[in-house]
Amino acid sequence: MRRLWRLDAHVVAACLIGGAWGCADRAADPGREGDAAVSGDAVNSALVTPVHVRVAPAGLADLNRETTAAGVVEAFRTATVAAETHGRVTLRSVEPGDRVEAGQVLVNLDSERARIARDEARATVRSREIDVREAHNELKRGRDLHAREFISRDVLESLHFAQARAAAGLRAARAQLAAAERVLADAEVRAPFPGIAEHVHVHEGDYVNPGTPVATLADFSRARIKAGITAREAALLAGVGHAELTLDVLGAEPLRARISSVARVSEPATGTYALELWLEGIAEDARGGLREGMLATVHLPHGGSAARLTVPSAAVFRRDGAMHVFVVNEGRASLRPVRTGRSNGPVIEVVDGLAAGEVVVTDGQFALRDGASVIVED
């Protein structure tokens, strides 16, 4: 029984591979020849009996393609403006939703004490300026007296020191005045950039300290779109400057956005790479519809416009851990390992192992062995 099974297996394999469906008589009489003879006939049948296949040539093709990624809208700039001095709120100048300009006053703090300190510092500066002029005149007279030998060298040096002390006192007074003026200016909390007052955190009568949040501003004159992409997509974006995206709130019309950055370090939580785009030139009437957290569909064009050697994806198969194709030449199919690259679905790039114009099998590989005869079908 063991011998009969081995014989049947070889015969059936030869019949299936070679397409020789008329092998029934031979299979019925396994004792007609020895095992070695039958095995050799099966191999020869597989190699000699032609297999009907379909083929296609390897050629150059443009593999540029477009994928999409889900992006999240963010304001181009946001800031929580905080008080830089202490005081009581005397005036709240903006309300949530108000548009503000750079430098516009958001909140006024009680500035009476700061104004008094500023005036006192100014008076001190004037006093120190007088001290400097007086010390300068004393030094000038001392030089004349020393030249006529009416005073000693030590006295003249003391006059020099007095002038230096007066000058230092003036510098200190001016620094105190600058600090007082800064405190007075800080009593008016101003917007650092133009935008929308999203939140106003204080009311008239509230007492604030340095660091107390006053208002939150958002600038939607431009918008940031942040998305996560794979390492392969990140590599294919090299040299690409712009991408298109769509936002439901702005209609179905595609918007052109500039690719600002593609991260080189992946996010630990997702394993994706951060992509940031800048959406600029937003129409005034469209800005009001933008909200942080809105979803955008980002259409990513892949760079690298050079044509690449490709074959139909159906021609490539894996065997022994590597990718292979069957190359047809003079009526025979040769098994050849290849190294593949990008794919857009219908075709796949062949990086190594194949030359342009070579013909590969696209249908019928399952019945082929290395060196098998083939008949090419239309």
Q: What is the pLDDT of residues 309-326, one digit of tens each?
A: 999 999 999 888 889 999
Q: What is the CATH classification number for the domain harbouring 324?
A: 2.40.420.20
Q: pLDDT grade, residue 109 (50/70/90)?
A: very high
Res. 121: pLDDT tops 90: yes
Residue 317, in any domain of the structure: yes
How many domains does the chain divide into? 4
Show which of 269, 301, 333 is a domain's final residue.
301
- Asked, for residue 199, whether it belongs to a domain, the answer is no
pLDDT tens per residue, range 249-296: 777 678 899 999 999 999 888 889 999 999 998 777 677 778 898 999
- pLDDT tier, 235 (very low <50, low <70, confident <90, very high otherwise): confident
80 within a domain of the structure (yes/no) = no
User: What angle, rounded to 10 degrees, do the helices at 2-18 and 35-48 form?
Assistant: 10
Domain that holds residue 177: 111-186
Same domain, 275 and 325: no
Whether the pLDDT of residue 18 is over 70: the answer is no
HSE at residue 70, side-chain half, CA atoms within 13 A, is 4
Tens digit of each residue's pLDDT (9 = 90 or more) over 38-71: 445 554 555 668 999 999 999 988 766 667 889 9
**Residue 127, domain member (yes or no):** yes
Whether residue 201 is contained in a domain is answered as: no
> Which pLDDT does position 349 carry in this prediction?
87
Residue 205 lies in a domain: no
The string of DSSP letters for 315-376 reads G-EEETTEEEEEEEETTEEEEEEEEEEEE-SSEEEEEES--TT-EEEEE-GGG--TTEEEEE
Does residue 360 form part of some domain? yes
Has residue 95 been placed in a domain? no
Query: Quick one: pLDDT at residue 36?
Result: 43
317 and 334 belong to one structural domain = yes
In the predicted model, is pLDDT for residue 4 greater than 50?
no
Select from 301, 316, 337 the last residue of a domain: 301
pLDDT digits 0-9 by tens, 353-365 = 999 999 999 999 8
pTM of the model: 0.59
3-class DSSP state of 196: strand
